[in-house]
Amino acid sequence: MRNRIKTKLLLLIVIIIIALASPFSAYAQRINMTYLYAGNTSLYINYVDRSNETIHIVCPDYFEIYDTGDLKLLSKIDEDFVYAMHERGVKVVPFLSNHWDRELGRKAIQNQVSLVAQIVSAVSQYGFDGVNIDIENLTHDDRNQYTSFIRLLRQSMPPDKSVSIAVAANPYGVYYGWAGSYDYKALGELCDWIMIMAYDEHYYGSKPGPVASSSFTENSLKYALKMVPADKLLLGVPFYGRYWKEGAAKGGSGITCYDAESLINKYKSTVTYDRSTQTAKAVVTIGVNDPKPTVWGGVVLGSGTYTIFYDSDQSLKYKLSLVQKYNILGTGSWCLGQESLKTWDFYKRWLNGKYYSDILNHYAQDDILDIARKGWMIGVSPDKFAPNRTLTRGEAAVILVRALGLENEAPAEYFSDTKNHGFRDLIGIARRYQILLGDGNNRFWPDRPLTREQMAMVLDRILVLPNPVKNNPFTDISQTKNSLSYDSILRLANNGIVVGDGKGAYNPLGIVRRGEMAAFMNRSSVFEMTYPAKRDPSIPSPRNIVSPR
């Protein structure tokens, strides 16, 4: 009996030791990995420090490949950088690149015995925490040999050093070409983590379009999850966009998100956000007499009109929310230093599903998170949602226009009291599509609170609800007292969107708060939404409305 107990105890100790030796045992949170490229030690340290302790793994550009397939160690390798990162609790995992050179990649995997020995030696010599393999542009013909290379690398690498890879996105599940060079299932068993390069949906030479639309990104994740464990997957996000110049024969060159936002701020520009693709699009015009900007890589942009597709803060938040949605290990990014400086104000919280610091234990917490993921409501600051703050009529217009996907439409004529308002365009769109109306005197009252009665009428206008009006469950509303809102309140109540105070009252004149609106909108999201094709038949003219609706 004692021998059995000793045996079990020894097994438990071995299991604990193995767990502690795991390359990711120290990470209780989601992992944030990023690549470092085309810089030096001081620049890289600066990039990491400005991320506000958000980064767990850096992959610097230290390894390349000789024409013989042997490992090329770049002179920029710096043990002081490794020490500086370890002091900050950041792991250093250099990436091995063939820079899209197919023949060079093939030389590497054909020379795998020597190359693996050289990589293992370099990792040990410089105190690296592992290696990341970023060999691209192979084909399905190289699939087995590439897998064999990764298998030998994992077998040869000490267990406390990580072996990871970057793989092509495969949203269409193809088995040929570059995407077909990766045996996802076998590689998922061998690697500590795999980063899906979920970008370059559009590229240099392609027609204009997003670098990584929502469908491209999610379909790439869904395909990978069929074969790779979720706790080994990193979603690759681009810290860059691509631009097309009007009149140019070819377009799609890369531009950093930092440079894109700089151009938007300095030159004549319009920015729109396509919720169907979760992508920002900027049209920037550089005049003949304007100073000519220099962007990443020393490229000088001449005069002309440029269309830029890039990931704005909103796009990035959407992608970070996918980490929670699919319960994957975390994210990787190409590449550090190209991001908007505002990125690190929210990245860590959104990566870990803690979007706002003031919603913990709030009754609408889950609804707020869902609505934030949809992009219908955003915080009042990078880390605050203000769930108990009064919702204004202007804010309600913004939320409803976003929910209907109309934010890029042209607005109607402004109300007399919204011409200088920050939400004037979205209020104008709400007016154009008859979602919210004014008081009949060309006033909207954008900063007045939205009442529960008004909220019910507005939601009733845009929802296609299956359950008809039945009995009235509320003691404080009636057809007589609430002639305009009565049916709307009951329709919403009979479809589970609104509830009373638990004592039989609806409180129609009570104000709506931001958290409450998030709950109403999230419950509404399961139903079909539309906008009135014409004015509500019961209200033949906005002039007949005597109070704000």
Alpha carbon of residue 24 to chain centroid:
23
Nearest in space to 239 (alpha carbons), one of 147, 337, 151? 337
pLDDT digit string, tens, across residues 5-24? 444 444 444 333 334 444 44
pLDDT digit string, tens, across residues 329-386? 999 999 999 999 899 999 999 999 888 989 988 999 999 999 998 899 999 988 899 9
Q: What is the average pLDDT across 483-489?
A: 94
pLDDT digit string, tens, across residues 202-223? 999 999 999 999 999 999 999 9
Question: Choosing from 136, 201, 261, 395, which is the catalytic residue?
Answer: 136
Over the chain, what is the mean pLDDT? Answer: 91
The most distant pair of C-alpha atoms in the chain lies apart, rounded to whole Å, by 90
pTM: 0.81
Contact at 8 Å (CB) between 224 and 233? Answer: yes
Alpha-helical (H) ranges within 326-432 are 347-351, 365-374, 393-403, 424-432
Look at residue 352 in the predicted model and tell me its pLDDT: 93
- Answer positive or negative: Cα dihedral of 431, 435, 440, 443: negative
127 burial type by CB count under 10 A (0-12 exposed, 13-18 middle, 19+ buried): exposed
pLDDT digit string, tens, across residues 73-126? 999 999 999 999 999 999 999 999 999 999 999 999 999 999 999 999 999 999
In the block, residue with structure tokens 């030389």: 107
pLDDT digit string, tens, across residues 296-305? 999 999 999 9
User: Is 333 within the bounds of a domain?
Assistant: no
User: Is 494 within the bounds of a domain?
Assistant: yes
Look at residue 28 in the predicted model and tell me its pLDDT: 52
CA distance 222 to 427: 37
Domain hosting 497: range is 357-544
One-letter amino acid for residue 106 of the chain: R
Look at residue 548 in the predicted model and tell me its pLDDT: 33
Q: Pairing relation of β-strands 304-310 and 279-286?
A: antiparallel
136 belongs to the catalytic site: yes
Contact at 8 Å (CB) between 111 and 153? Answer: no
Instruction: For 488-518, give one letter per residue: b (16+ CB within 10 A) or e.
Output: bbbbbbbbebbebeeeeebebeebbbbbbbb
Structural domains counted in the chain: 1
User: Is 449 within the bounds of a domain?
Assistant: yes
Nearest in space to 230 (alpha carbons), one of 329, 332, 350? 329
Alpha carbon of residue 22 to chain centroid:
28
pLDDT-derived band at 467, boundaries 50, 70, 90: confident
DSSP H or E run through 147: helix 143-156
